[in-house]
Amino acid sequence: MKNNDIKPAEGHLGVMIVGCGAVATTLMTGVMMVRKGLAKPIGSMTQMDCIRVGRGAAKQYLHYGEIVPLASLDDIVFGTWDVYPQNAYQAAMYAEVLKEKDIEPVRDELERIVPMPAAFDKNYAKRIDGTNVKCSMLNGQCSIPTRWEMVETLRDDIRRFKQEKQCQRIVVLWAASTEIYVPVDEKVHYHLSDLEAAMKADNREKVAPSMCYAYAALAEGCPFVMGAPNTTVDIPAIWELAERMRVPIAGKDFKTGQTLVKSGFAPMIASRCLGLSGWFSTNILGNRDGLVLDEPENFRTKEVSKLSTLETILRPDVHPDLYGHGNDEDTQYYHKVRINYYPPRGDQKEGWDNIDIFGWMGYPMQVKINFLCRDSILAAPLCLDLCLLSDLAARAGRYGIQRFLSFFLKSPMHDYTRGEQPVNHLYQQYTMLKNAIREMGGYEPDEEID
């Protein structure tokens, strides 16, 4: 390893996960099984990928951990918050992502992970109905705490966890349900002082519970990762806090099934200068995430995130002859995304894409993609990478929006107030990721062919 500027990854890394559902329990169980040598961390870039460093005769391919100091899986300590009181073993069994034989060997460890009460407001996820929620006692009655009380109790939770588990560092990851869509409001969300005032005034319409988690994490100096499509990390007030506290922040929405395919396939259309007249994507999904997304207001949040993927890859403003067909307000070509809740499938989502393209002299063609994936199996390695790389970024002195993590995210953070465009193209995102690791490792960033 060349670079000594990065603080070493010494001691325990606390990974505090908001939500103890399908994704969180698949991540935790997988990490514990890998630690015991009973599973392989398939799909995790930090555990499996090799990056070329150096050129010509000096070139070599190294694992991430050989280039930069990453926390070891053995040093990870998990904690969680959830609306339901079930421990992580019970939650993993309920999720039915993994078979019992892949959960039992780490049952004891999972049982010891009991969710802390959630900072929750049912208006943000109407289909969720649990009792393990934070309370503000008023005349002997339990009522929802104010947004500022949520922040303060979450900060206490983080501090207590860090001390009890003797963690050197903490990363907070949102893997909880998608909240209803909260449009960005300049008066509340642009400046930190306005956001704090809204929290203190208990403005429940403009301040989502997820914003309280993000605020609490950053205020405690912990990197925060938003895995759902919530607008939480899209607001300049949260960027301001991340910069003030010099803490990394990343989001949003894990790039797993259909969007992963989309951001990998759309570059093929673009690179060959083929035209696109429409892209229709639909899914069936039967887990609790699917149940929450069956609520139109929650689906709206997901839809906005999923639609954004093609916008910067297939651009009608640059190629009107190729991508100016159709009348969709944002993209010109027709781009539709649907998610249908269908309980028999559980976590085993099925996605269909119908892509109407055209070629030489405008002749039409179709591509059909049928992806039978497993949502949480694709999400778990991303969560691990996002946590380890956010922790790395913090130790490397990086703070604010972590653009190099766009590779893992459906709707990457970008400063739209300055007209910045996000990078959605999977292979450009991969180059950004590799170059960030090279740079942090003291190697020259480059774009040579591997």
Ligand X SMILES: NC(=O)c1ccc[n+]([C@@H]2O[C@H](COP(=O)([O-])OP(=O)(O)OC[C@H]3O[C@@H](n4cnc5c(N)ncnc54)[C@H](O)[C@@H]3O)[C@@H](O)[C@H]2O)c1
Cβ 144 to ligand X shortest distance, Å: 11
Cβ 408 to ligand X shortest distance, Å: 10
Q: Which of 192, 161, 196, 154 is nearest to 176 (CA)?
A: 154
| 332 part of the interface to ligand X, by CB under 6 A | no
Nearer to ligand X, 132 or 312 (CB): 132
Nearer to ligand X, 25 or 402 (CB): 25
| 401 part of the interface to ligand X, by CB under 6 A | no
Nearer to ligand X, 277 or 305 (CB): 305
Cβ 230 to ligand X shortest distance, Å: 8
- Which pair of structure tokens corresponds to residue 327? 């009348």
Cβ 254 to ligand X shortest distance, Å: 4
Cβ 350 to ligand X shortest distance, Å: 13
Bridge partners (DSSP) listed for residue 356: 278, 366
> What residues from 339 to 378 belong to the interface with ligand X (CB under 6 A)?
375-376, 378
Cβ 328 to ligand X shortest distance, Å: 23
| 84 part of the interface to ligand X, by CB under 6 A | yes
Cβ 212 to ligand X shortest distance, Å: 9
CA distances, 396 to each of 7, 145, 248, 440, 444 (Å):
7, 36, 10, 7, 16
Site string for ligand X, 224-243 (x = CB under 6 A): ---xx---------------
Q: Which of 16, 82, 144, 235 binds ligand X (CB under 6 A)?
A: 82
- Which pair of structure tokens corresponds to residue 113? 């992970």
Site string for ligand X, 251-270 (x = CB under 6 A): --xx-xx-------------
**Amino acid at position 56, single letter:** G
Cβ 362 to ligand X shortest distance, Å: 36
**Per CB under 6 A, which region of 117-125, 134-142, 311-319, 357-365 contacts ligand X?**
117-125
Q: What number of other Cβ atoms are within 10 A of residue 136's Cβ?
A: 13
Q: What number of other Cβ atoms are within 10 A of residue 363's Cβ?
A: 9
Cβ 356 to ligand X shortest distance, Å: 26
Distance, in Å, from the CA atom of 276 to the CA atom of 355, rounded to the nearest integer, reads 8
Q: Which of 225, 241, 216 is nearest to 116 (CA)?
A: 216
CA distances, 23 to each of 212, 300, 345 (Å):
21, 21, 16
Q: Which of 6, 23, 62, 92 binds ligand X (CB under 6 A)?
A: 23
Q: Which of 125, 167, 192, 266 binds ligand X (CB under 6 A)?
A: 125
3-state DSSP helix/strand/coil % of the chain, to nearest 5: 45, 20, 35
| 81 part of the interface to ligand X, by CB under 6 A | yes
| 83 part of the interface to ligand X, by CB under 6 A | yes
Distance, in Å, from the CA atom of 211 to the CA atom of 251, rounded to the nearest integer, reads 13
Distance, in Å, from the CA atom of 100 to the CA atom of 48, rounded to the nearest integer, reads 26
Q: Which of 46, 47, 146, 177 binds ligand X (CB under 6 A)?
A: 177
Site string for ligand X, 279-308 (x = CB under 6 A): --------xxx-------------------
Cβ 215 to ligand X shortest distance, Å: 13
What is the chain's length? 450
Q: Which residues contact 9 (CB under 8 A, 6 or more apart)?
A: 69, 70, 71, 72, 75, 391, 392, 395
Q: Is the dihedral of CA 186, 153, 82, 385 positive or negative?
A: positive
Nearer to ligand X, 46 or 259 (CB): 259
Kind and range of the H or E run holding 88: helix 88-95
Distance, in Å, from the CA atom of 293 to the CA atom of 285, rounded to the nearest integer, reads 10
* Number of DSSP helices (H) and strands (E) in the chain, helices first: 16, 15
Q: Which residues bind ligand X (CB under 6 A)?
A: 18-24, 81-84, 95, 118-120, 125, 128, 130, 175-178, 209, 227-228, 253-254, 256-257, 287-289, 375-376, 378-379
